[in-house]
Amino acid sequence: MENQEIKLIDLFCGLGGFRIAAEKVFAKMQISSTYVFSCDFDVDAQKSYEANFGETPFGDITQIDELDIPEHDILFAGFPCQAFSICGDQKGFEDTRGTLFFDIARILRAKRPKAFVLENVKQLVTHNGGKTFQRILETLRNLGYQTHRKILNAIDFGLPQKRERVFIVGFREARHYVWQLNKTQMKPLSEVLEKEVSPIYFASEKIKQNRLRSVKGKFVRDEFTIWHENKGGNISPLPFSCALRAGASYNYLLVNGKRRLTEREMLRLQGFPDSYKIVCGYQAMRKLAGNTVAVPCVIEVIDSVLSALDSQTIERKNLNTRVAAQESLFV
């Protein structure tokens, strides 16, 4: 790809996590790239994206003609996950958000980019006994794309957040693809948490006392912990955060059982730089941060995709057998 300018599009762009990751990878590899299209239905996402990248994303993808989207080389899409999430109703394609995958498919069919990277919750793989995921892969392969998939956890790439997501990458022409994953040690919460925060982030005295009673007798070794409340109401003090969730209760995660995460802390847990401008209110940022991608994970995936695009094409004969062997474990 030497001396080429790579054109990119960013569907369901949210806060722009894919873009931050891509810009880092392209800068490191000294490859010229430009974003030619982005879209997101959420007005707060549009506001945040414009403030940080100088471009206002287009709106509802279902109302955009695929022929109007500019030609591009790589498509990024963290398509809506609520229809497949374990914390949602898991209605899959019965949910209108689940059908948005087919808007990705119609763009791939019309524009035929060289590659794509998709991201969604881990539960997509097992939803409806695996039938939903197989339908997605079948659709992509019927479009002529060689596909690979893997579940990655943000905690394996330096972030103190246990966040498992499935990544699907695809290539228009079959290529030698390897998941080049440079896992790194988790940074401590002390590097993420702000030293001083406003009183507005602190939980009520009643909630704090309830949390203390819930963990009574449990050994808390670390100076900084994030107390996670699961769906059954059980509290676990952990030296990392459980996955940020867009629709979680305000007290789902509490620092040392006392206060909520700040907007900046949520962004840090997703790997966003401190230079990222926060222009929306707390409720909007909780939703957007919970829906965004973990930047370090995406960096590794994009790096692997670019390496594959720089390799020679291969014959498709027996390709599916080799891919299945490579991806027999989703880890």
DSSP 308-326: HHTS-B---TTHHHHHHHH
The predicted pLDDT at position 167 comes to 97
- pLDDT tens-digit readout, 279-310: 999 999 999 999 999 999 999 999 999 999 98
The predicted pLDDT at position 143 comes to 94
- In the structure, what pLDDT confidence band is assigned to residue 149 with cuts at 50, 70 and 90? very high
The predicted pLDDT at position 323 comes to 45
- pLDDT tens-digit readout, 104-115: 999 999 999 999
Angle (CA) 161-163-164 rounded to 5° is 150
> At residue 39, what is the residue type?
C
CA 122 to chain centre: 11
**With contact defined as beta carbons under 8 Å apart, do 18 and 118 qualify?**
no
Q: Which two tokens stand for residue 241?
A: 């955060």
Count CA atoms closer than 13 A to 140's CA, side-chain side.
24
Q: Which two tokens stand for residue 135?
A: 């339908």
Domain ranges of the chain: 5-186+292-326, 189-276
The predicted pLDDT at position 219 comes to 66
- pLDDT tens-digit readout, 28-50: 999 999 999 999 999 999 999 99
**With contact defined as beta carbons under 8 Å apart, do 170 and 145 qualify?**
yes
Any idea which fold 5-186+292-326 has? Rossmann fold (3.40.50)
| Residues carrying an active site annotation | 81
| Average pLDDT for the chain | 88
CB-based burial, 131-161: b 16+ in 10 Å, e otherwise: ebbeebbebbeebebbbbbbebbbbbbbbbb
In whole angstroms, give the CA distance from residue 167 to residue 175. 17
In whole angstroms, give the CA distance from residue 290 to residue 284. 10
DSSP 137-148: HHHHHHTT-EEE
Q: How many CB atoms lie within 10 A of CB 180?
A: 13
Q: How many CB atoms lie within 10 A of CB 283?
A: 10
321 pLDDT more than 70 = no
- Average pLDDT over every residue of 141-165: 97
Helix (H, G, I), strand (E, B) or coil at 235: strand
> At residue 78, what is the residue type?
G
